Amino acid sequence: MKLNRVFTSTLTFNSTTPYHQTTWEVIQSYVQLTKPRIILLLLITMVASMGMAAKGHVDPWLVLITLVSGACAAGAANTINCLYDRDIDFAMERTRHRPLPSGRIEPHDALLFAIALIVISFTLLAVFANLLSASLAMIGILVYVLVYTHWLKRHHSQNIVIGGVAGAIPPLVGWAAVTGDLSWAAWCLFVIVFLWTPPHFWALAMMIQDDYAKVNVPMLPVVAGNETTARQIFAYTLILIPVTLLLGYPLDVMNLLYPLIALVLGGIFVHKAWLLMQSPSNLELARSLFKYSIVYMILLSIGIVIDCLPITYSALNRISGIINLLN
């Protein structure tokens, strides 16, 4: 497969249908092209990382700049992914109404849009944060577009394991924007998102494997079946729990609240993965695990932010003072 398929293609879908849209509909189509709900979760992990890096004393202006830049970088990556995959997106039920396969946006307009987003993202981060965070955002785009979308997605059943590196980069961007470097804690958050990605995605892939089989995308459930996939999902959720706890000990960047939250959330994740492993053909369990994976990442990130806030620190100190007095 050639990279120039982004510009020219012999696709059999309906991208040239004349289509009259109001300005509002055009704006909506461009927003849809960036896969906004996924960006939202990527940004939540980024904010958690910024809160942790700044120990709760984060500059709101820097947060705003980093959020806008992160949204632009992820939006550009998703737009190029939509451009590259518009042939299979047209063939799959879930994705055929996206702006490119349905002809609401022309491919060259999407490409210009992505380039503009990349320029905005790099410039904002380089000028208002630092070069490290700007470069990491660009690496995120490259990994997602070249490694995942071009190289692995259509060729390897472990596509999302390596491709998951891209989704795990936003916490590094957030940390680097605050501190100008990367510490063990930043890498720990990176590994958390990396390990979370296979359960998140394979649960969904189990539900829509017929679609993937139809377009010859070798997602694990298509290639190895539900039983193997459910076993691998379980293994990832199991490894995830101790890795989340590393932020408390030995990295010592979290207070007491976070380990409790991480344990409870992780316990539910493992339980759901266990149930799926017992009945791998039960797609309701897969759906429930996919939905929970999103809730898990949102709540874990919120837990990190709350744990980092100075008010939480002083409240915990007071509580331990009272406990000491009672003893």
Ligand X SMILES: CC(C)=CCC/C(C)=C/CC/C(C)=C/COP(=O)(O)OP(=O)(O)O
- Site residues, ligand X (CB under 6 A): 38, 42, 73-74, 77-78, 81, 85, 95, 137, 140-141, 144, 166-167, 169-170, 173
Q: Does residue 148 bind ligand HEM (CB under 6 A)?
A: yes
Nearer to ligand X, 174 or 266 (CB): 174
Nearer to ligand HEM, 126 or 213 (CB): 213
Q: Does residue 193 bind ligand HEM (CB under 6 A)?
A: yes
Q: Find tokens 């000491």 and name the residue.
A: 324
Q: Identify whether 250 is preceded by a cis peptide bond (ω within 30 of 0).
A: yes
Q: Does residue 204 bind ligand HEM (CB under 6 A)?
A: yes
For ligand HEM, the binding residues in 58-97 under the rule CB under 6 A are 94
Integer Cα distance of 220 and 243 in angstroms? 24
Q: Does residue 236 bind ligand HEM (CB under 6 A)?
A: no
Q: Find tokens 């896969």 and name the residue.
A: 35
In degrees and rounded to multiples of 5, residue 210 shows phi and psi of -65, -40
Integer Cα distance of 306 and 294 in angstroms? 18
- What DSSP letter does each residue of 228-297 carry, written as one string? HHHHHHHHHHHHHHHHHHTTTTTS--S-SHHHHHHHHHHHHHHHHHHHHHHSTT-HHHHHHHHHHHHHHH
- 41 interface partner picked from ligand X, ligand HEM, none, CB below 5 to 8 A per type: ligand HEM
Structure tokens belonging to residue 43:
């940004």
- 222 interface partner picked from ligand X, ligand HEM, none, CB below 5 to 8 A per type: none
* Residue sitting closest to ligand X (CB): 140
Report whether 113 contacts 33 (CB < 8 A). Answer: yes
Q: Does residue 297 bind ligand HEM (CB under 6 A)?
A: yes
Structure tokens belonging to residue 88:
């299979």
Shortest spacing between CB 17 and ligand X, in angstroms? 21
Nearer to ligand HEM, 98 or 255 (CB): 98
In degrees and rounded to multiples of 5, residue 151 shows phi and psi of -85, -50
Nearer to ligand HEM, 25 or 93 (CB): 93
Please, which residues have CB within 8 angstroms of residue 134's CB and are 6 or more apart in sequence? Answer: 69, 121, 122, 125, 126
- 37 interface partner picked from ligand HEM, ligand X, none, CB below 5 to 8 A per type: ligand HEM
Integer Cα distance of 108 and 100 in angstroms? 10
| Among 51, 70, 75, 163, interactor with ligand HEM by CB under 6 A | 163
Shortest spacing between CB 282 and ligand X, in angstroms? 23
Residues in touch with ligand HEM (CB under 6 A): 37-38, 41-42, 45, 94, 148, 160, 163-164, 167, 193, 197, 200-201, 204, 294, 297
